[in-house]
Amino acid sequence: MTLLHSLLTLDALNFGSLDFLFWCLPAFLAAYYLAPAAYRNAVLFAGSILLYALAQPHFVLVLLASCAVNFWLGARLSSKPYFIAAILLDVLLLASCKAAVLAGLCKALPVGVSFFTFKLISYQADVRRGVIPPESSFLRFAAYVSFFPQITSGPIMRYGDASKGLSSPGASAAAMEEGLRLLILGLASKILLADRIGLLWNQLSVIGYESISTPLAWLGAFAYSLQLYLDFAGYSLMAGGLGLLLGYPYIENFRHPYASRSVGEFWRRWHISLGSWFRDYVYFPLGGSRAGKGAAVRNLLAVWLLTGLWHGGTWNFLLWGLILGLLVTGEKFGYGQFLGRHKILSHVYLLTAVPLTWVVFAIPDLGQLGLYFTRLFPFFGTGSAVVDPGDFARYLSMYGTLLAAGCLCCLPVLGGIYRRVRQRPLFLLLLLVLFWTCVYQIANASSNPFLYFQF
């Protein structure tokens, strides 16, 4: 009973937990590489399901049923009714899970349902279009769907990318080294920067938006923008590192998005796997821009409204998706060329517009959201820009160093520096120091799940 209780209380799918780093991951890697290559897909599937069951035992049957039904339908996609049935069932699963949470029928979504459902839809669509052949092995198919490094928050790896890892399970020594490097860098991004910067946004919520000055409101918006990026990009680095450890290709999910010069470019660099999924499986099938400007505007707005719904069913997510759709459409058919001619102005535009959209994303209560915007733009609300004249300086002194470090992590030059120094002994020593600093931080603070776990 003691052993069973210990297993059930493991924080099994939170990559930033000591349970995962020191128990779940080492045990899985040992089992995976001690098994003969022919049995590694079985170990991957069994291990992924076990980790999922430890995280959410009451939802593991949802994942298994999705695998079974989609595998059966996937072998029959030459018939259009089976293809339509597969897509409708996957969409219905995702929509019903989100509706149940919004209606209060259950407290949380099944872990990763948004991500593994999109993987299933992409598989069915690619088989139907002849991009990939239908998978004949249920074990390989289920290992792909339940792949634990990506099941909680992506990236959304397509079956064509996963097939090489499934065909030849196991990684080279060089890939494993790179995987460990990315794992540590992602962990440091999450634990040492995102979680600590996130305290600022949490404190503003506790203070009450009506009690913060306009400069502090803007600082909070920028802080949340950095927190979300460092958290999700950190998770994606860890997921990519884990995939490399198992012999799977690295799926790039972020490409320095805050270096962009337009909102459209930002979203081509942010959560790349999701953006490309909506492009290939929604925007292009709707007709893209082939039928003229009017159809393109309609299709873009449809994609962005669906993106908002995918993230959540509350009004703020719909508003967030609509705002992004209008901005992207405006850039594509209006002021995009003007931005292209003005380098500095375009960066200022991006670094102003995107944090404002993240405020809409972050605050589900529309009343509180409106209140926050009256602090950002006090001339539209009541009162002055200064409520507490010393709050901005006080919080900047507390978080300035962390915010500066977070801004440095947004610079594209870091990628080139990393490629030059990643194998140097001094850098490896730095990684070791970062890892144990993260462990110390985790051990002395409560476990903080990745932000995108809720989607």
Task: Identify the CA nearest to 102 among candidates 452, 448, 364.
Answer: 364
Considering the domain architecture, whether residues 125 and 256 belong to the same structural domain is answered as no
Residues 180 and 160 in one domain: no
3-state secondary structure 236-276: HHHHHHHHHHHCCCCCCCCCCHHHCCCHHHHHHHCCHHHHH
CB-based contact 391:213 (threshold 8 Å): yes
Shared domain for 53 and 194, answered yes or no, is: no
Q: Looking at 129, 144, 170, which one is the last position of a domain?
A: 170
Domain total for the chain? 2
Contact 70, 135 (CB under 8 A): no
- Cis peptide upstream of residue 215 (ω within 30 degrees of 0): no
List all residues 6 or more positions away from 133 whose beta carbon is below 8 Å from its beta carbon.
127
For residue 3, what pLDDT is reported? 43
The token pair at 405 is: 């470090």
Same domain as 204, residue 106: no
Q: Would you call 5 a catalytic residue per the annotation?
A: no
Distance CA 133, CA 45 (A): 21
Judge if the upstream peptide bond of residue 389 is cis by omega within 30 degrees of 0.
Answer: no
| One domain for residues 117 and 206 | no
Structural contact between residues 237 and 253, judged by C-beta atoms closer than 8 angstroms: no
The reported pTM is 0.93
pLDDT of residue 319: 96
Instruction: For the chain of 455 residues, list the mean pLDDT of each consecutive stretch of 10.
Output: 51 89 95 95 96 92 96 91 95 91 81 94 96 94 96 93 90 95 97 96 93 94 97 96 96 96 96 96 91 90 94 91 96 92 95 98 95 88 66 94 96 93 94 96 75 58
Where helices occur in 129-194 by DSSP H, the ranges are 138-146, 148-151, 159-167, 173-188
* 409 and 434 co-located in one domain: yes
Whether residue 180 sits in one domain with residue 37: no
Chain-centroid distance, C-alpha 398: 28
Q: Tell me: do 121 and 208 sit in the same domain.
A: no
Same domain, yes or no, for 230 and 315? yes
pLDDT confidence of residue 108: 79
Where among 140, 170, 200 does a domain terminate? 170
Radius of gyration of the chain from Cα atoms?
23
What does the alpha-carbon distance between residue 386 and residue 378 come to, in Å, rounded to a whole number? 9
Q: How far is CA 315 from CA 110, 305, 401, in A?
A: 21, 11, 35
Quote the pLDDT of residue 446.
61
**Residue after which a domain boundary falls, among 123, 153, 170:** 170
Which domain covers residue 437, as residue numbers? 175-454
Let me know whether 194 and 338 are in one domain: yes
Whole-number Å distance between alpha carbons of 75 and 69: 10
Catalytic residue among 256, 311, 342, 347: 311
Same domain, 342 and 234: yes
- Taking Cα atoms as reference points, which of 153, 176, 150 lies closest to residue 161? 150
